Structure 1
Amino acid sequence: MNRNFLVASCLAMGLIAGCSTLDVGSTKHNISQQAMPAEYGWAGAEGPLLGGSQASEQHFYTVTNRKEFVAALAESGDSPSIIQIRGTINLSSDDSGRELTEKDYRVAPYRFEQYKAAYAPSIWNIKPLVKGRPNRKLSGSQEEARQASADRQKAQVVVKVPSNTSLIGLGDDAKIVKGMLHLDVGVENVIIRNIHFEDAFDYFPGWDPGDSFKIDSSYPGCQAEYVNANIGPQKCRGGRWNAEYDLISISGAKRIWIDHCTFSDGDRPDALFPPFYPFPQNEITQKVQHHDGLIDITNQADLVTISNSYFHDHDKAMLIGNSDKKTEDNGYLRVTLHGNYFENVGQRMPRVRYGQVHSYNNYFVGDASGDGQGGNNYERHLNSLTAKPKHNILRQALGAGKHSAIFSEANVFEIANGTPANAIGHMKGDVAFDRGSMFNGQMLDIIEEANRVSGKFLSKDVGWQPNLYGPAPVLPASEVIEYVTANAGAGKL
């Protein structure tokens, strides 16, 4: 699409005010018709990533609500298409624009209070353990109704994005909220830019009583067999709430560029929903979780670049690979992260399994304190209840998971009360590499320091070398903060 044709299209639609431009080299391009720069990270490994930049006038859309958005995606199909987002698209709304909430999705007899009571550890956990944990397959009318309610919500708030699409926010306030974009198997060649994504809120999170369950003798009364109200597995730590929706799920798709976007929980962070059950099921991590990831990349997804984006005020940001057991992910999950800003994010920036991930010139800011102090888990748990941290506890920024190969360079980590083991965490991985990065104002060999502090060993032999930098050569760490804070996020194109 040439620029004259684009301007004519904008005039015809009354959109000339929204047709902003971006300088790239000496040529001005409308951001809606812009392809990804050549070889800009892993997304460019197999040639040009065009998105919908070659769309005909028929497939050039501007949408202002969910109904228009879904209709544009359906009409365009896999044909090259440009969909411009103006204002706020609420994915949890009906065709009249009315927001849908829990009462619209709820299937009887589900009630949150009744659900929590039915599966309380004092009731559910006293049954015989299954493979050393409380039975993780909940049964009964409340779980059945919760699942039916969740299915109803999912049908409304999950929107599939087809191949050869560019989703572009107009101005500095374009938003997609209260739902999830899903890029499924077979989808490729997608560009997403200049959009605020917020609050993929799950009204029906599920309780998993066996998640992180431990027989820990430091907890009084904790043992595998039930004796009475004071002795048994109900007195052990463990169990988690799990939410369903990411803001963007890249599940089997390939050749994806996400650029200059912003991701957060919006005005409903999970901090508003503290743990429900009493001690010992009231650790900080047992809050009632209504949000899952910000971006998850799973199921043999491949060739993804995420650049110049802002991730903030969320716990678990990004999974690349979602199971240690998915050996079929080996050879996929190749992702580049460049120029991104992570602020008050707890973990997974990203956590990687199997993938080759290049992370460079990213800026990580957080606080590692809050899990409590003491000689054992029980004492630390008690202490953390007194501390009541307001921030998301930064547990690890880059997580080296099973068979991952992270190549980190010239990143900046500012982690209050943390160590290099919080910068690059050992998550059952074997290798990780870093060069030229800064930790709390000092240039360090972060891998060696993380190994020393954690007592866990990561080899530096990752077995590959990045060569896809496009127009964004590596800045020295001393220039990263200024660059990232000026450029990362929606509204900064």
Structure 2
Amino acid sequence: MKYRQIAVTGALLGLLCVPAHAEARDISRDTLPAHDGWASEGEGTTGGAAADDAHVYTVTDRSELVRALDGGSATPKIIRIAGTIDANTDDDGDHLDCADYATDGYSTRKYLAAYDPRTWGSAKPSGPQEEARQASAAQQAERIELTVGSNTTLVGLGDSAVLKGASLQLRGANDVIVRNLELRDAYDCFPVWQPNTGGLGDWKTAYDNIWLRGATHVWIDHVTLSDKGHPDEKEPTCFGRNYLRHDGLLDITNASDLVTVSWSRFADHDKAILIGNGDTATGDRGKLRVTLHHNEFESVVQRAPRVRFGQVHLYNNRYVVPADAHDYRYSIGVSTESAVFAENNAFTTPGHVEAADLVKSWNGTALHQSGTLFNGYPVDLLAIHNAYNSGSERDLTADVGWTPTLHTKIDSAATADREVARGAGAGRIP
């Protein structure tokens, strides 16, 4: 009788309880849904969904990842990242730090002594220490720049897949999907001093977490990008400027086109997203068509995004500026010949950040905006910008010359704010 009672209880538990470790849905062959942003144009974006079984890889370290990427080949492939992969490792899997890359007598101390503006002046660095810096930088780049070729899906397994220290390079690639992956800390060991940048000089770094150059049909979804591990704010001040170690989180340049970035999280960083990298890059005209929707920008100083030339649809995104963010500059940057169509985005900021701070214009003149919430209240970013710009910025017009047709359901800014807070970033694909 006692055995029968235990058996009945077990049966009831099986009916009422869900297993603690239910098997996750396989998302590695997912393709971009129809009408989901610019990357759905034409034949859409399918990544490596057509890969045969021989070209489906599960990788757990840098060496396996490099072999699977196959030098950026166009063979359809699915690469599933399990656990944490550190790009700063040698072929045996041992961690490499900046001292391991340094060569030809380079040292930070010697570099700073050689190019101190008080003695070197304002000339571009040259000579033994700059040459040693370049050689050292080349050694690091060989390890951490990972080329992603056409017809590739790169996806994280489970809810904790991490690629740290790497810079994913999409050069001329077509049809690429990157999903469910945390990319953190693309750390530059050897930043270069540029004496004439910004009038006072500045440090320039080399690596973006993801860099699209001439890439087309790219879907980036449910990724988390940050400087986690080595935030720039904790780096020292050298030559009166923050000794930067990171560049952008995501750069879309060199006539890249038809890109959708969705349900992703950009956090704890200075320059988040650059679309178009130069005012004179006229070859970008007609390209740089990008959709950004349901993304979260938290503790981001600027470029969320900054746009040149492109037709960019920006909807249902969530912006959070923390109370202690005294270096905040702007969120939406309107630059040369850009045409930004912004709908139903939500901004939450502390008292020292005003609605007039959210948009900055350079040579750009076109911004459509509607449905914007600022600290819970509706605002017209266009009218505020034109009323309160500093005088050095041009007035903006709402006529951007196009109307988006490729998009998913556009919710109110308030609804999107809640949903993005719950659902954006790696490990949160429903």
TM-score w.r.t. structure 2 length? 0.91
- Alpha-carbon offset, residue 18 of structure 1: 9.8
Structure 1 residues 239-280: Cα deviation after superposition (integer angstroms, max 9, x where no partner): 100110000000111100000010000120001113123xxx
Structure 2 gap segments, 5+ residues each: 1-20
Partners of 1:476 and 1:292 in 2: CA distance: 33
Q: Does 1:269 find its partner at 2:265?
A: no
CA contact (8 A) 2:72 2:147 kept: no
For the residue of structure 2 that corresponds to 1:480, the secondary structure is helix
Aligned partner of 2:337 in structure 1 is 403
Give the direction of change, closer, same or farther, for the CA distance of 1:464–1:259 in structure 2 (3 Å limit): same
Q: Return the match for 1:207 from 193, 197, 202.
A: 193
> Equivalent residues in 2 for 1:325-474 (5 A)?
325-367=280-322, 391=325, 393-416=327-350, 417-454=352-389, 455=391, 456=393, 457-469=395-407, 472-474=408-410
> Equivalent residues in 2 for 1:179-258 (5 A)?
179-185=166-172, 187-213=173-199, 238-258=200-220
- Alpha-carbon offset, residue 81 of structure 1: 1.1
- Alpha-carbon offset, residue 92 of structure 1: 1.2
Partners of 2:362 and 2:97 in 1: CA distance: 37
CA contact (8 A) 2:62 2:87 kept: yes
Partners of 1:433 and 1:419 in 2: CA distance: 19
Structure 1 residues 169-227: Cα deviation after superposition (integer angstroms, max 9, x where no partner): 01111011111000002x110001000000000000001010001xxxxxxxxxxxxxx
The amino acid across from 1:328 in the alignment is: G
Partners of 2:71 and 2:210 in 1: CA distance: 21
Partners of 2:403 and 2:120 in 1: CA distance: 50
- Alpha-carbon offset, residue 102 of structure 1: 1.1
Q: Return the match for 1:153 from 126, 132, 140.
A: 140
- Alpha-carbon offset, residue 488 of structure 1: 0.2
For the residue of structure 2 that corresponds to 1:83, the secondary structure is strand
Partners of 1:392 and 1:201 in 2: CA distance: 23
Aligned partner of 1:163 in structure 2 is 150
CA contact (8 A) 2:260 2:292 kept: yes
The amino acid across from 1:73 in the alignment is: L
**Identity across aligned pairs (percent)?**
43
Partners of 2:275 and 2:261 in 1: CA distance: 12
Partners of 2:312 and 2:149 in 1: CA distance: 25
Partners of 1:19 and 1:36 in 2: CA distance: 23
- Alpha-carbon offset, residue 75 of structure 1: 8.0
Q: Return the match for 1:79 from 65, 75, 79.
A: 75
- Alpha-carbon offset, residue 45 of structure 1: 1.2
Q: Does 1:485 find its partner at 2:421?
A: yes
> Equivalent residues in 2 for 1:173-184 (5 A)?
173-184=160-171
Q: Does 1:310 find its partner at 2:245?
A: no
Q: Does 1:44 find its partner at 2:40?
A: yes
Structure 1 gap segments, 5+ residues each: 1-16, 22-29, 126-133, 214-237, 370-389
- Alpha-carbon offset, residue 322 of structure 1: 0.8
Give the direction of change, closer, same or farther, for the CA distance of 1:391–1:117 in structure 2 (3 Å limit): farther
CA contact (8 A) 1:304 1:335 kept: yes
The amino acid across from 1:435 in the alignment is: S
CA contact (8 A) 2:376 2:414 kept: no
Partners of 1:466 and 1:138 in 2: CA distance: 46
Partners of 2:302 and 2:236 in 1: CA distance: 18
- Alpha-carbon offset, residue 295 of structure 1: 0.5
Give the direction of change, closer, same or farther, for the CA distance of 1:19–1:31 in structure 2 (3 Å limit): farther
Give the direction of change, closer, same or farther, for the CA distance of 1:204–1:491 in structure 2 (3 Å limit): same
Partners of 1:273 and 1:189 in 2: CA distance: 37
- Alpha-carbon offset, residue 392 of structure 1: 6.5
Partners of 1:392 and 1:409 in 2: CA distance: 27
Aligned partner of 1:301 in structure 2 is 256
CA contact (8 A) 1:362 1:480 kept: yes
Q: Does 1:102 find its partner at 2:89?
A: no
For the residue of structure 2 that corresponds to 1:79, the secondary structure is coil
Q: Which runs of 4+ in 1 moved over 3 A?
A: none
- Alpha-carbon offset, residue 76 of structure 1: 8.4
- Alpha-carbon offset, residue 428 of structure 1: 2.4
